[in-house]
Each structure stands twice: as structure tokens, then as C-alpha cells.
Structure 1
Amino acid sequence: METIGIRQKLHQFIDTIEDKKAEAIYTLFEDEIEQDEWEYSDDFKAELDKRYEYYQNGGKMVTAEEVDEQINVLFHPDKNK
């Protein structure tokens, strides 16, 4: 499974678990979560640089409203038929 799929499954899991389970997970990773500084990977930084360059060179961007529409289609496919 790709990392993006894993992240999506974790988000879904965390969004629906009982409070005690959420607290237990938080306890396991508290030190990492509470770090004052986040260190981004070189790959992530390179991707951000690539996207910024694309934007600076007139690349197509989407508005917040367009993003909301896309998200609604993904999360509520029955409503959009």
C-alpha cells in the first residue's frame, strides 16, 4: 500500500475511534507531535519548490471554492448525481 493510502486509512481510523483509543495513540507519539520544529524531508521540500515554481510561471491554480466542490464530490458522491 502506498503512503497516501496509509495516511488516508489512519485519518479515517482516528476520526472514528473512541476517545480512550485516541488518547492512547497520542500518548505513544506525544513527543513527536509536540515538537517545536518540524523537519520536512528533502523530497517534500523539492515537491514544494516544484509546485511554487509552477505557480510562479503561471501554472493553473484552483480556487478555494473549486477545492470545496472537489472535496464534496469525493466525500458525498451520492449527493452529486
Structure 2
Amino acid sequence: MDSSALRDKLHHYIDVADEQKLQAIYVLLENEIDWSYTSEDIALLHHRRQQHLQGLSKSFTIEESLEAIRKQKE
């Protein structure tokens, strides 16, 4: 089953699940839901943004990215 189909099934299940099952699902996923960026993550994001804005890093348009993905699938 691909991830899209799995998401659809989970969304449907959550929509119809009773309170006890919803609580169980939440407990299983709670650690992954409650996350935040560390100060190091934020510093890296700021650095990469500055590199991009100054033209010092390679950037790709959406079209270029999609084309590269399509070529990899061939």
C-alpha cells in the first residue's frame, strides 16, 4: 500500500474512531507530534537563507526540481 492510500485509510479511520482509540493513536504518535526546532536548526536555516539571498548557493525552481525527479524515475 502506498503512503497516499495509507494516509487516506488513516484519515477515514480517525474520522470514525471512538474516543478510546483516538487516545491510543495519539499516545503512539505524541512524541513525534510535539517537536520544535533547536537553536542549531534555526541558525542553519538562517545561514542557508542568507546564502540563497546572496546568490552563494545553488537554488532550483519547482520546474527544475520536478524535471530532475522525473529523470531519476526513468
* Cα distance between partner residues in 1 of 2:69 and 2:37: 26
Corresponding position of 2:61: 63
Shift of the 58–66 alpha-carbon distance from structure 1 to 2, 3 Å rule, reads same
Please identify which structure carries the higher helix content. 2
CA RMSD of aligned residues (A): 3.6
* Cα distance between partner residues in 1 of 2:63 and 2:5: 30
May I ask how many residue pairs the two structures share in their alignment? Answer: 59
Structure of greater Rg: 2
Shift of the 73–42 alpha-carbon distance from structure 1 to 2, 3 Å rule, reads farther
Return the offset for 1:73: 2.6
Q: Which has the higher contact order (CA 8 A, sep 6+)?
A: 2
What is the percentage of aligned positions where both structures have the same residue?
28
Shift of the 15–46 alpha-carbon distance from structure 1 to 2, 3 Å rule, reads same
TM score, norm. by length of structure 1: 0.47
Q: Structure 2: where are the runs of 5+ without partners?
A: 15-20
Question: Would you say 1:15 and 2:12 are equivalent positions?
Answer: no
TM score, norm. by length of structure 2: 0.50
